Amino acid sequence: MPSTEPMQIDSDLGRPRLAPHVRLTFDPARERHVLLTPEAVTVLNATGAAILGLCDGQRAVTEIVAELHGRYDRVDDAEVRRFLAGLAARGCVEAGHG
């Protein structure tokens, strides 16, 4: 039986964007992108930074996944959706209305 998780995440996030209190920036000391929140600094890998860089409130989750497919050889759609859902649960990503 196929999972309905990706569809639910698409519906819940709409056109995801970073929450107003969150910043995606490059940290030269760490030589990595980081996600800055009032409570924490999350060090991202290149894939996480690429995903969040596309969360502009204009693209739907399916469009973000399609863009990633154009950039990389292997993209796990469900993994991208789980990543975004996890950040949404932490209040770092919210639904945009594009």
- The number of beta carbons lying within 10 Å of the beta carbon of residue 88 is 17
Q: Structural domain boundaries of the chain?
A: 5-89
Report the predicted TM-score, pTM, of the whole model to 2 decimal places.
Answer: 0.83
Give the pLDDT confidence of 37-95 residue by residue, as tens digits. 999 999 999 999 999 999 999 999 999 999 999 998 888 999 999 999 999 999 999 98
Give the pLDDT confidence of 14-36 residue by residue, as tens digits. 899 999 999 999 999 999 999 99
Q: Give the closest residue to 61 by CA, choosing from 2, 16, 8.
A: 16
Given a contact cutoff of 8 angstroms between Cβ atoms, the answer to whether 67 and 74 are in contact is no
- CATH pick for 5-89 out of 3.20.20.10, 3.90.930.60, 3.40.50.300, 3.50.50.60: 3.90.930.60
